[in-house]
Amino acid sequence: MSQERADLRRKRPALELRACVLEEIRRFFHERGFLEVETPVRLRAPALEAHIDAEPSGTLYLRTSPELHMKRLLAAGYERIYQIGPCFRRGECGALHHPEYTMLEWYRANADYEALLSDMRGLLAAVGASPLNGSRPVRLDREWRIWTVSEAFRGWAGWDPVELWDENRFDRDLVEKIEPALPRDAVSILRDYPAPAAALARLKPSDPRLAERWELYLGGIELVNAYSELTDAAEQRARFERCARERAARGKPVYPIDEAFLRTLEEGLPPCAGAALGVDRLVMVLAGANTIEAVTAFQEFEPAPPAIPRMNP
């Protein structure tokens, strides 16, 4: 039997779990009155983010997230919507990353990030109760641990990024000190990020140094990012432009600003909140696997980068 055939047979329980999780997600949102939507996969203007690179597709780009189109639906009166579909991020390859992956995004109009936290509790309870989900190494029913970013950094990294922003130090300490300290067997939330660490989030009205953003970690693995969405057109344009300048300075491709989205904001977007969840990672954690490859039938690998010349003959 070929290696591929053997691998695919071995993956069957994981792929069945995956189907079951997708079914539970759809049931959960359907029961709460969310409408499942589909938005374009190929975009003229992928959301500008400092550290997310889009894959070109002809004269367009593959989406890195469906969020800008989702917000255009919200603005038109679709109050509760969700989408499950492929997203693409150039160059992201590792045990927890693949350039093509499955994302769940859901949005609520007239709600903020707190409301999404309660959606999240319900969703994890629903998925955790799914019958195929046998060996669960992470207790989904245990009390969630919630830290503000300030608390987490002061406790584990010895400084407060809200007091003094340092992007490089923040990213490095997050990976080296904060994430390894999060409990392996439970759900943890980091919330209230420093304002510069959230491109599309609303600032907290009571403290504009903070952005209304939370991230959920399942078994120490980052799974969900949620925002109270920024709805101010002028502020959004300023952030896009700042991001474009940052990308240009780093020698990264600069994508066009999504004018259709900015027009939507100008016309009016109700207060809203949205969350993005990596489906592959969720299935991976539920399956007790260590890589998303283990819960994905196929991975299409990019050609290896050019070989580095060997120094020795």
Partner 1 sequence: MYTASDLRKGLKIELDGVPYEVVEYNFVKPGKGQAMYKCRIKNLITKTTQDRTFREVDQIGKPDLEYRTVNYSYFDGHKYVFTDLRTYEEFSLDEATLGDARHFLVDDVEVSLLFHNGRVITLEFTKPFVEKEIVETEPGVRGDTATNVTKPAKIDTGYELRVPLFINKGDWVRIDTRTGEYTDRVSKG
The residue (of 44 and 250) whose beta carbon lies closer to partner 1 is 250
- Nearest-angstrom CA–CA distance, 24 and 253: 38
The residue (of 29 and 170) whose beta carbon lies closer to partner 1 is 170
- Residue 174 lies near partner 1 (rule: CB under 8 A): yes
Helices marked H in the chain — which ranges? Answer: 3-10, 12-31, 67-75, 113-128, 149-156, 167-173, 179-181, 233-249, 259-267, 279-287
- Residue 92 lies near partner 1 (rule: CB under 8 A): yes
Q: Which amino acid type is present at position 25?
A: I
- Residue 199 lies near partner 1 (rule: CB under 8 A): yes
Given 12, 139, 172, 184, the residue binding partner 1 (CB under 8 A): 172
| Smallest separation, CB 6 to partner 1 (Å) | 25
| Smallest separation, CB 212 to partner 1 (Å) | 14
CB-based contact 82:34 (threshold 8 Å): yes
| Smallest separation, CB 20 to partner 1 (Å) | 28
| Smallest separation, CB 23 to partner 1 (Å) | 28
The residue (of 109 and 282) whose beta carbon lies closer to partner 1 is 282
Query: What residues have CB less than 8 Å from 133, skipping those under 6 apart?
Result: 17, 20, 21, 127, 286
Residues 94-153 that bind partner 1 (CB under 8 A): 94-97
Q: Which amino acid type is present at position 177?
A: K
The residue (of 104 and 109) whose beta carbon lies closer to partner 1 is 104
| Smallest separation, CB 32 to partner 1 (Å) | 26
- Nearest-angstrom CA–CA distance, 8 and 72: 39
- Nearest-angstrom CA–CA distance, 110 and 78: 11
Rounded to the nearest 5 degrees, what angle is found at the Cα of 144, between the Cα atoms of 139 and 146? 145
The residue (of 17 and 277) whose beta carbon lies closer to partner 1 is 277
Residue 117 has φ and ψ, to the nearest 5°, of -65, -35
Residues forming the site for partner 1 (CB under 8 A): 49-52, 91-97, 167-168, 170-172, 174-176, 179, 197-199, 215, 222, 225, 250, 305, 308, 311-313
